[in-house]
Structure 1
Amino acid sequence: MSDCGCDKAKKDLEEYLRHEVCTTEAADIREHLANCPECQNEALVAQTLTEAVQRACKETAPEDLKNQVLASLRATQATHESA
């Protein structure tokens, strides 16, 4: 293993956090993160954002809201079709 440096770590950070890099690259990035406070902070922000997005994607809109949005879309579509 060898420290991959900031440029490589930042370039591949998203893939690393999603476990989409090969084992060797993951080990190199992990080693870099262990020794670079700046990249550690960037990884923490990226991980926090990724987790927030994943949680948000699991939420569903209330049925009334879904119906209101669909009705609005249908009304807009009908207006444009008749014009």
Structure 2
Amino acid sequence: MTDCGCEKARRDLEEYLRNEVCKTQHTDIAEHLEHCEGCRDEALVARTLTEVVARACKETAPEELRDQVLARLRAVQATH
């Protein structure tokens, strides 16, 4: 086992969660997370936050709200 340490695991955590690290780094960070409760907790928070934001980005505003926002934007633009 190669423990990459907390500093490296936390520094590369976002890239790790998006699968943007090489296979060796991925393995090292995964092994570290298995044995380090603090980093594992941080990874869980980051993963959960990423999933919530991704779900929120898929939602669309109700048509009526979108129409109101667009009308207001047009009104503001017309006065400037």
| TM-score grouping bracket, smaller chain normalisation | over 0.9
Q: Does 1:2 align with 2:2?
A: yes
Match of residue 50 from structure 2: 50
Match of residue 60 from structure 1: 60
Matched AA of 1:78: A
Match of residue 78 from structure 1: 78
Q: Which runs of 4+ in 1 moved over 3 A?
A: none
**Alpha-carbon distance in 2 for matches of 1:57, 1:19:** 20
Give ranges in structure 2 of 5+ residues lacking alignment. Answer: none
Length-normalised TM-score, structure 2? 0.97
Matched AA of 2:29: I
Q: Deviation at 1:52?
A: 0.2
Match of residue 31 from structure 1: 31
Alignment of 1:9-28 (within 5 A): 9-28=9-28
**Alpha-carbon distance in 1 for matches of 2:69, 2:11:** 39
Give ranges in structure 1 of 5+ residues lacking alignment. Answer: none
Count of aligned residue pairs for this structure pair: 80
Match of residue 40 from structure 2: 40
**Alpha-carbon distance in 2 for matches of 1:58, 1:17:** 20
**Alpha-carbon distance in 2 for matches of 1:67, 1:6:** 49
Deviations 1:38-62 (A, max 9, x none): 0000000000000000100110001
Q: Does 1:69 align with 2:77?
A: no
Paired-residue identity, % = 70
Compute the RMSD of aligned alpha carbons.
0.7
